[in-house]
Amino acid sequence: MLRFFRRLLQPAPTFPLDPYRWRHDNRTTGEKVLSGVRLGVGLVAGFLVVVLAFGGLSTLPVGAHAYGRYGLLVSWGMLCFASIIMFWTANRWAFVPGFFCFPALFKTLAMFLVGPNPSSPNAAYRMTRTEAAELLAVCVVVIALTWRFVGNRPEPTTFIDRIALTFFVLATLKQMVIAYKWPPSPLISGLSALLIAWCVYRWQRRGRRGKYHHVSSRTFETLPES
């Protein structure tokens, strides 16, 4: 058990969305099928975890009215179980927030430039320019703060990243289940968590670079003159 918690504290390799993109894929057909099945199972499992968290958040703090006598306990149990699963597997889905925000970025940009369509049956196309600008800003911030997890060689997922990513997802779901009002406190708190994790990442990266340059300079100084 102690070894398990130590592993959580250590940076874990982040799983890329498609590790064979822009590379020669020399896997056999069976290996490709198995990889596709694993990806499909992972997507379904992730969707179920999100649904579980959404169900718990949407019934708090009035869970007793939704799930009967032990409703509040059920709601908190669903939320806690989903949170643990998301925290544990964060290195497998760290790219997901940026992956979903990237296409939304262009859609909201188009709505901001074109303007709303009041006659559209789709509520998204009736969004005002102010609402589109807010959503556009959120997409830009999320992509910027999670870009390091995108690509064939993503940065490792640290313990702080796990907390920030899990909290961001829960905060976003909470924002979805409550009536919108300005400022959107849950969403802002989720973005703040991502910002803190990004600042820690930059600080640690700068420290590693400074240490590397310090060691390199000392090595250069100790070289014998020719």
**81 and 127 both lie in a single domain:** no
pLDDT at res. 220: 43
Task: Tell me the residue range of the domain where 104 lies.
Answer: 93-216
**83 and 115 both lie in a single domain:** no
**199 and 108 both lie in a single domain:** yes
**83 and 147 both lie in a single domain:** no
CB 162 within 8 A of CB 90: yes
**114 and 196 both lie in a single domain:** yes
Any idea which residue has 């059920």 for tokens? 74
**156 and 192 both lie in a single domain:** yes
pLDDT at res. 199: 94
pLDDT at res. 35: 76
Q: Is residue 196 part of a domain?
A: yes
**126 and 72 both lie in a single domain:** no
Instruction: Flag whether the pTM goes above 0.85.
Output: no
Q: Is residue 3 part of a domain?
A: no
Q: How far apart are CA 70 and CA 65, in angstroms?
A: 9
pLDDT at res. 225: 53
Q: How far apart are CA 84 and CA 162, in angstroms?
A: 10
User: Which of 88, 107, 131 is the last residue in one of the domains?
Assistant: 88
pLDDT at res. 22: 58
* Per-residue pLDDT in tens (0 to 9) along the chain, 226 residues: 667 667 777 888 888 776 666 566 677 777 778 877 887 888 888 889 988 898 888 877 654 465 666 667 788 888 899 999 999 999 989 888 888 888 888 888 888 888 777 777 776 677 788 888 888 899 999 999 999 998 778 889 999 999 999 999 999 998 888 877 777 888 999 999 999 999 999 998 887 766 655 444 555 455 455 4
For residue 89, the tally of other CB atoms under 10 A from its CB is 19
pLDDT at res. 62: 54
Q: Is residue 33 part of a domain?
A: yes
**81 and 183 both lie in a single domain:** no
pLDDT at res. 211: 60
> How many domains does the chain contain in total?
2
Angle, helix 71-88 to helix 159-177, in steps of 10 degrees:
140
Taken in order 33, 39, 40, 41, the sign of the CA dihedral is positive
Q: How far apart are CA 10 and CA 32, in angstroms?
A: 30
CB 169 within 8 A of CB 176: no
**168 and 68 both lie in a single domain:** no
User: Whose CA is closest to 187, among 200, 197, 201, 172?
Assistant: 172
Question: Which DSSP letter does residue 157 get?
Answer: B
Measured CA to CA in angstroms, residue 173 lies from 3, 22, 49, 55, 120 at distances of 32, 34, 12, 10, 26
